[in-house]
Amino acid sequence: MDQIDRQLLKLLHENARISIVELSQKVCLSRPSVKERIDKLAEQGIIKNFTILPSYQKMGHQISFFSEISNIKWPAPQIEAELQKYPNITEIHIVLGKSNYLVKASVKDTNEMKLLIAEWMTFSDVTSTMILETTLENRFIEE
């Protein structure tokens, strides 16, 4: 990966809908060269997805929170399959430390949050932290 690849990644990270034409102008390369570089970055797994970052709050989910899930009572594959069934969960991370999993979820209200956590408590210990405000999200790491 060279400096142009890094520049392309940064531009795509800022706006995944940017056109090849605009990208080629910004990095001073031909459109076919830019397309080839993007395809290669995707093939190598450096680009995992071309996606959006939705505002769950504007979609009616007023509360986002993290839950640490520990002391699980089921085998790990079963826990992971169970957690993936909840449409409110936006992220699941296997972690080291006091917890086994760190889960991020968004819900409409505290009642929905309480019900969700109560369900998780049937198979694990749960410690949750409500997000008041996000001051940095999805930052692009430049080397």
For 119-130, the pLDDT digits (tens) are 999 999 999 999
Tokens standing for residue 13: 């990270």
Interval 55-97: pLDDT, tens: 999 999 999 999 999 999 999 999 999 999 999 999 999 999 9
Question: If residue 34 lies in a helix (H) or strand (E), which one and from where to where?
Answer: helix 31-43
Which among 109, 112, 90, 98 has a CA at the least distance from the CA of 68?
98
Helix or strand run (H / E) with residue 101: strand 101-107
pLDDT at 115 over 90: yes
Which of 108, 101, 70, 109 lies closest to 84 in space, CA to CA?
A: 101
d(C-alpha 38, C-alpha 46), whole Å: 10
Domain locations in the chain? 3-44, 56-131
pLDDT at 143 over 90: no
pLDDT band at 17 (very low <50, low <70, confident <90, very high): very high
CATH architecture label of 3-44? Orthogonal Bundle (1.10)
CATH code given to domain 56-131: 3.30.70.920
